[in-house]
């Protein structure tokens, strides 16, 4: 029987860390959202691999260089490790909208690349976002789209959130990354219980 990798794809800004309009340009500007890193650790401890897919147009705009991006991600990894969590990899699009690439969300190129790297059917993969753009990328790539009410989505009212969800079939909403982890681990437990009853 083939082993299926249990994989979750996260956006970065607004999911793991506080969103900044002026981009995260240094480790000092990377501020974790309360409970998010611990949620990643809980997913890891339950056998889930976590990767990040993020648009980083600040690179293309000359606002941040690769050394600074790497420093931010090293800091992120250190903060995760301190609570027993890890992100397997960070996939990012460095382009601006004017570059017309296929890896900038809402296009699915970045996400489909993750599917290729892991050799996994993306229909089995939840993808978390705080924007309509990222939900659309998840849907276009065939992932399960999940919206968190953190980051940019935290500023929206119930009607605006409902409008976003209505535009992307199959979308689900959670308060934050911890709430999503609760949902996914509950679903895991139900599936395991069901297998036990079949045996």
What CATH number has the domain bearing residue 160? Answer: 3.40.50.1000
Domain span holding position 51 = 7-198
Token pair recorded at residue 102: 């296929």
In angstroms, rounded to a whole number, what is the distance separating the alpha carbons of residues 159 and 120?
35
Greater confidence (180 vs 124) lies with: 180
Q: Give the residue-averaged pLDDT of 105-116.
A: 95
Q: How does pLDDT run across 135-155, given as a tens digit for each residue?
A: 999 999 999 999 999 999 999
Report the relative pairing of strands 172-174 and 144-148 from DSSP bridges: parallel
- Number of domains the chain contains: 1
Residue 140 lies in a domain: yes
Token pair recorded at residue 145: 């789209």
Residue 117 lies in a domain: yes
pTM assigned to the model: 0.92
Residue 1, pLDDT > 50, answer no
Residue 2 lies in a domain: no
């Amino acid at each position: 029987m083939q082993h299926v990798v249990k994989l979750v794809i996260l956006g970065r800004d607004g999911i793991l860390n506080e969103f900044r309009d002026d981009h995260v340009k240094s480790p000092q500007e990377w501020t974790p959202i309360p409970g998010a890193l611990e949620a990643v650790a809980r997913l890891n401890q339950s056998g889930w691999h976590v990767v990040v897919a993020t648009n980083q147009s600040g690179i293309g705009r000359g606002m941040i260089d690769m050394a600074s991006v790497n420093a931010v991600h090293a800091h992120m990894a250190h903060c995760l490790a301190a609570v027993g969590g890890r992100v397997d990899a960070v996939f990012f699009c460095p382009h601006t909208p004017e570059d017309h690439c296929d890896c900038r969300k809402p296009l699915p190129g970045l996400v489909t690349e993750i599917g290729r790297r892991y050799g996994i059917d993306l229909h089995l993969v939840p993808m978390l976002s705080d924007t309509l753009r990222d939900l659309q990328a998840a849907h276009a790539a065939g992932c399960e789209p999940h919206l968190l009410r953190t980051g940019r989505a935290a500023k929206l009212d119930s009607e605006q959130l409902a409008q976003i969800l209505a535009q992307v079939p199959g979308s689900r909403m959670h308060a934050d990354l911890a709430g999503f982890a609760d949902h996914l681990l509950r679903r895991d437990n139900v599936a395991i219980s069901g297998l036990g009853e079949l045996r």
